[in-house]
Amino acid sequence: MEKLSIGKMARLNQVSVQTLRLYDEMEILRPVEVNEETGYRYYDVRQSARLDMIHYMKSTGMTLKEIREVFKRGDLRLLDQVLHQHLGDIDKEIETLCQKKKAVKRMMDCYDRYLKSPGDGMITLEYIEERKIYACHTDVNFYEYGIESYENILKVLKKEMIRQGIPEYYYYNAGTTIARENFLKENYVSDKIFVFIDQECKKDCFKTIPVSMFACIYCDDFDKETEYIQRLAGYIREHDMQVAGDYICEVLAELPVLSSDKRGMFLRLQVPVAFGEHRFKQQCGFTNGAG
């Protein structure tokens, strides 16, 4: 048997001398011989197999203490138990990273939409695909109290989301609604607050906003919302549209607070609309009495 110095053993296995000394101290890999006079450690090349196993076990996430215990007990059932535990930990870590990735992408998408959106006060007519929301009813009409009550309602929403197991990154861009009948009566009462949820999410507590044409107005200040709702309602009447659903205030982006004490938001105020028979006939070239 050729005895290898600790330096040769380290170079052969591409590890540091300090690592081999640590493994010796922890009784994970002991040298075959230690010179009593010099304290030099010597190894057998065949111990490389154990060293390889140590590194393989470390690559699974096992700690040196866990590796030492497995070697000490020589029990493969313990090894299997430890590996199952680490597999579960890895799955949780993967899920956490996936959630972080979704949160980053969601925020990036929001700011991209903000940068490409029409300016403040611009009215548009937009086709918007089906969307899924989680909504929380509220008895407080923040239109009567202002931004402070909105902040309190947000906290209620967040608590309910946690209770339902909905990832926190959806909490970004919470929106509000006004029931269709209240919107038509110009009775600005917000009865629910909501967040948009990815389409693949499946829970009974989620609701769907159907695909539709939406009359929209963009707004850069929470305090302008009531004024802009009135402008949007006027636009709908002027163009002979029918209100086809609830009014929605969508927060496209929350802007970082730099010098203001209130939440900075860029809003897309929107109402689903339909076109009456008169509008349809005009578009098709029909005139009165033409059928």
Q: Both 12 and 86 in a single domain? A: no
Contact (CB, 8 A) for 189 and 182: yes
127 and 267: one domain? Answer: yes
| Residue 214 belongs to a domain | yes
Same domain? 262 vs 276: yes
Note whether 177 and 247 are within 8 A (CB).
Answer: yes
156 assigned to some structural domain: yes
Query: Tokens 């105020």 identify what position?
Result: 269
Domain of 146: which CATH number? 3.20.80.10
Structural domain total, the chain: 3
In a domain? residue 112: no
Alpha helices (H) along the chain? 6-12, 17-25, 48-59, 64-73, 76-116, 147-164, 180-184, 225-238, 277-284
84 and 59 together in one domain: no
Domain hosting 272: range is 117-281
Residues 197 and 230 in one domain: yes
Residue 277: what pLDDT? 62
Per-residue pLDDT of 224-239, as tens digits, reads: 999 999 999 999 999 9
Mean pLDDT by 10 residues, the chain (291 residues): 90 95 95 92 94 94 93 91 93 90 86 91 95 87 77 84 84 86 92 82 81 96 92 95 95 70 84 76 44 34
The answer to whether position 91 is within a domain reads yes
